[in-house]
Amino acid sequence: MSEDTIFSKIVRREIPSEIVYQDELVTAFRDVNPQAPTHVLIVPNKAVPTVADVGADDEPALGRMVTVAAKLAEQEGIAHDGYRLIFNCRSHGGQEVYHLHMHLLGGRPLGPMLHLKS
Ligand code: AMP
């Protein structure tokens, strides 16, 4: 069984969060430390730790995450200019919370995809 994270608590509404969308498969809420005018996290309700742990059973939720991202981008008014969807995976990917999530970022030019550090 996956370890419970802060995101599972948000999904179950046990801790406060600005939830912008929720259905039977996924939950979307605003990032507490936004990196762009729109910064929403979209998570499967089921706690899969990382992209590397996704199984065939998770495919409906992963597909829903993308369609919800596109709908939220329309609602946020960022769809026309464009936006970025990011999955960070494990330590080299910069993942901090081990409940799989997709970042929806937009509202300003986001620049090059990677900020490389030596
Ligand atoms: P990652 O580095 O891909 O694991 O991203 C984790 C993200 O979760 C970061 O952008 C954090 O700002 C965000 N975050 C951490 N705790 C919370 C929280 N309680 N509510 C909303 N966002 C959070």
pLDDT tens, residue by residue, 5-54: 999 999 999 999 999 999 999 999 999 999 999 999 999 999 999 999 99
Mutate to test the pocket of ligand 1, among 5, 19, 33, 103 (most ligand atoms within 8 A of CB): 33
> What residues line ligand 1, using a CB cutoff of 6 Å?
6, 17, 29, 31-33, 41, 88, 94-97
Residue that has been written with the tokens 């030596």 in this structure:
118
Closest C-alpha to ligand 1, atom 17: 32
Closest C-alpha to ligand 1, atom 16: 32
Q: Of these residues, 92, 101, 103, 115, which one is catalytic?
A: 101
Nearest CA to 107 out of 86, 83, 89, 88 is that of: 83
Domain 6-106 CATH class label? alpha beta
Ligand 1 atom at minimal distance to the Cα of residue 86: 3
Strand order in the sheet with 26-30: 19-22, 26-30, 38-44, 102-106, 83-86
Q: Is the pLDDT confidence value at 118 over 60?
A: no
Q: Would you state the pLDDT for residue 47?
A: 95
* Region 74-92 average pLDDT: 98
pTM (global) more than 0.85? yes
Annotated catalytic residue 92:
no
